[in-house]
Amino acid sequence: MSRLFGTDGVRGLAGLDITAESALALAQGAALVLGRTARQEGRRPVAVVARDPRISGEFIAAAVAAGLASSGVDVLDAGVIPTPAAAYLVADIRADFGVMVSASHNPAPDNGIKFFASGGRKLPDAVEDEIERALTDTPLRPIGAEVGTVRRFSDAEDRYLVHLLGTLDVSLRGLHVALDCAHGAAAGVSPRAFADAGAKVTVMGNDPDGVNINREVGSTHLEQLRALVRSSGADFGIAHDGDADRCLAIDADGGVVDGDQIMALLAVSQQRRGLLVQDTLVATVMSNLGLKVAMDEHDIALVQTAVGDRYVLEALGEYGLSLGGEQSGHIIFSDHATTGDGILTGLQIAAEMVRTGRTLAELAAVMTVYPQVLVNVSGVDRLGLRGNRPIADAVARAEAELGSDGRVLLRPSGTEKMVRVMVEAQERHIAQTIAEELAALVRAELSVSA
C-alpha cells in the first residue's frame, strides 16, 4: 500500500486525488493526532488554516476547516497567505498546529495539504504515518458547545509583515527591486514588505485569479522577470513560487542567481557578521560542487543532507545551526523561520546589497557554478541501483577521473521507475560525456524489460 503523505504533505489533482471528502477526513485524522496534547491538558485545540490563491483552495480549505471544527478544534482562517506565514503564525499565537492548502510551484489544477506541528515545524514521518492510520479510526464527535469554531484571522498578514520587517537591520532605501509574485500567495505581502522596508518596487505576477498561479511566471519561469529587471532598470529581481516558500534572484544584467549562490552569499555575510553558527551551512547532496568549493575557501563547513527541505530542517535542528537550504531556492533562517521563506530570503539579499554597497552579481561571484549535467534514465528498476557492481565500478572510475574537480551522483527517483544521473565538472563537455556513459550503463543494467 502506497504512503498517503509525500515529501511535502499530501498532493494531487484537486477534485480527483484531493476531494472535499478526503480533505475533511484528513482534517479529522489530524485533529485526533495533533490536537491530542491540548485535549489532555483540558483545553480546546487551536489550528491556523491558510491557502494559496488557486481556485480549488477555497473548497479544500473549507473542507479542512469543517473537518477540524467538527472534531472540536477552533479554527483561525488566515485566508490567502504564504506557506512560511502560516508556519510563523502557528508559532506566534502558540496554536496547536496549522494546515496549509497549496501545491507550491505546481500548476493550478493541482493542490496539496500540508501540516505544521506546534511551533510551526513540519511533521516528522512518524507523525504523518499516525495521521494516516487515524483515518480508519472513529472521528471525534463533539456536540453542542464542544464543537469547534471557525473565525477569520483578521490580522494574519499584518503580523507576518511585522515579523519580516523585524528581521532587517538596515533600510532598503535607494534599492530598486523587481518582484515576480507568480500570481500566488506572495502577491499581497511581498510588495508591501519591500516597499515598507524602503525599496522602490516594480511588480509582476501579482494579479491572481485562481487559475493563473505559476503560469509562465514565478521561480520556474524566469524569462519575464529577466526582461522586467532590464526594462525597469531595477537593481535586482526576486521570483517567488506559488506559495512563496522559496525564491530565485536575477541580477541587474539578467543573470540568474540560484539557491546555491544565494546560500553562498548569505553564508559569507552571516560569517562576517558573526551570525553563522559554528561557521556551518546545511545544503542537500544536489547542491552544486561550486558551493562546497566556495565554502572551503571561506572556512565554512558544509553539512549535506538527502534531497528535500525537511532534511535540511532536521539537520539545522539536530546541530543547532542557523542557515541552510536547497538549490531550488528554499532558504531557511533558523533564527527567524521554521521553513523556507522566499520573501525573507529576498529581503536578506537586499539587505546585504545595502550593507556592502555591492551589486547582486558581485555578491553572487563568491561562488563559481560548476557545469552540471543531469540525465533522467526512465523505465528502469530504480531499486536495483543499490548493490549493482558494474554501475558502482563505473561510478568509481568516473570519480577517479574527475578527482576534486568534479562530482558524480546517481539517485533513484522516490516515486518513478527512474534513476537520475548527475555529473559536475569544470568543463561541460566532460560532464556531458561521463553522464551519458553512466546513463547508458544504467539503462543496460537496470532496464525493466531486460
Q: Pick out the residues of the known binding site for Mg(2+).
A: 104, 241, 243, 245
Q: How far apart are CA 442 and CA 235, in angstroms?
A: 45
What's the chain's Rg over C-alpha atoms?
A: 23
What is the DSSP secondary structure assignment for residue 245, as one 8-state letter? S
* Whether 307 contacts 420, CB under 8 Å: no
Provide the pairing of β-strand 150-152 with 200-204: unpaired
Element housing 275 (H / E): none
Task: Name the helix (H) or strand (E) containing 383.
Answer: none
C-beta separation of 372 from 288 below 8 A: yes
Cell of residue 426, nine digits: 569544470
DSSP state string for 283-333: EETTS-HHHHHHHHHTT-EEEEE-SSHHHHHHHHHHHT-SEEE-TTS-EEE
Distance (Å, whole) CA 195 – CA 199? 5
- Count of CB atoms within 10 A of residue 396's CB? 11
Task: Give the Å distances, CA to CA, from 324 to 13, 128, 238, 321.
Answer: 31, 24, 19, 8
- Residue written as cell 496539496? 112
What angle in degrees, to the nearest 10, is found between the helix axes of 156-166 and 186-196? Answer: 40
Among residues 70, 104, 269, 328, which one is catalytic? 104
- Is 104 labeled as catalytic in the residue annotation? yes
User: Quick one: which of 442, 319, 309 has its CA closest to 383?
Assistant: 442
Torsion on CA atoms 232, 233, 239, 244, rounded to nearest 10: -80
For the annotated catalytic residues, the residue numbers are: 104
